[in-house]
């Protein structure tokens, strides 16, 4: 049975081991992550997760990082390091993956790149999506996947404790992600649920 990444310490340890393996071979990669792993590393939540979701890679330009589309399959040196860490820590083989990379093509919130916060783990540079972007992405996920009763995305969104202005901004972006006729109404329903639950806490 595979182990979960229980908290930010587990996630950091796994990323650090990948970075050390990359360092040992002279390799270096920069990734931008979203989802539960990013929220754990930002101390927004403390919960177990099976994986670390990569939404984009990045290249260094002058003094800043420029995001670019993540490949569907990890580059061989990074894939080997990820596989080695999965074996050593008994994690699922795809614990570091580019599952959300299609969101790059669909579009990320305006100004996304400027809000990324960077950390270094040896040869692995890890960018954490900014607060506004995590709110938007979690609102999208909650609308798309959680259902009327809510779920983990809704819980993560509540943990972010967005203001009404942040929710409104996120909702405008999310409504542009799905052409379904009823989708905007579903977004509004999730926003109202978040507001109601936030005010009850």
Pairing of strands 29-34, 124-128: parallel
In the prediction, which pLDDT does 49 show?
94
Per-residue pLDDT band for 128 (boundaries 50, 70, 90) equals: very high
Please report the DSSP string for the chain in residue order. -PPPB-SHHHHHHHHHHHHHHHHHTT--EEEEEEHHHHHHHTTS----BS-EEEEEEEEEETTEEEEEPPPSS--HHHHHHHHHHHHHHT--TTSEE-GGGHHHHH---TTHHHH-EEEEETTEEEEEPPHHHHHHHHHHHIIIII-TT--HHHHHHHHH---HHHHHHHHHHHHTT---TTHHHHHHHHHHHHHHHHHH-
Q: In sequence order, which residues have a C-beta less than 8 Å from that of residue 69 and are 6 or more positions away?
A: 56, 57, 101, 104, 105
| pTM given for the model | 0.93
In the prediction, which pLDDT does 171 show?
97
pLDDT at 110 over 90: yes
Mean pLDDT of 7-23: 97
In the prediction, which pLDDT does 199 show?
58
In the prediction, which pLDDT does 134 show?
98
pLDDT at 30 over 70: yes
Per-residue pLDDT band for 62 (boundaries 50, 70, 90) equals: confident
Domain assignments of the chain as residue spans, ordered by start: 8-129, 132-200
Residues 129-173: tens digit of each pLDDT: 999 999 999 999 999 876 676 788 899 999 999 999 999 999 999
In the prediction, which pLDDT does 60 show?
87
pLDDT at 201 over 60: no
Extract the tokens encoding 120.
């270094």
In the prediction, which pLDDT does 144 show?
83
pLDDT at 77 over 70: yes
């Amino acid at each position: 049975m595979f182990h979960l990444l229980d908290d930010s310490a587990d996630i950091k340890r796994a990323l650090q081991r990948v970075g050390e393996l990359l360092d040992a071979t002279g390799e270096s990669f920069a990734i931008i992550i979203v989802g539960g792993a990013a929220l754990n590393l930002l101390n927004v939540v403390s919960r177990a997760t099976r994986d670390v979701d990569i939404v984009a890679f990045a290249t260094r330009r002058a003094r800043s990082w420029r995001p670019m589309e993540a490949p569907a399959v990890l580059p061989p040196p990074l894939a080997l390091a990820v596989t080695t860490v999965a074996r050593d820590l008994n994690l699922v083989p795809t614990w570091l993956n580019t599952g959300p990379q299609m969101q790059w093509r669909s579009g990320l919130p305006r100004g996304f790149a400027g809000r990324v916060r960077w950390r270094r783990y040896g040869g692995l540079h890890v960018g954490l999506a900014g607060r506004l972007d995590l709110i938007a992405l979690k609102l999208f996920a909650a609308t798309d996947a959680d259902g009327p009763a809510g779920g983990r995305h809704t819980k993560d969104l509540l943990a972010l404790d967005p203001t009404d202005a942040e929710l409104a901004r996120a909702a405008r972006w999310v409504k542009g992600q799905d052409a379904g006729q009823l989708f905007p109404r579903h977004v509004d329903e999730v926003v109202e649920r978040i507001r109601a639950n936030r005010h009850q806490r």
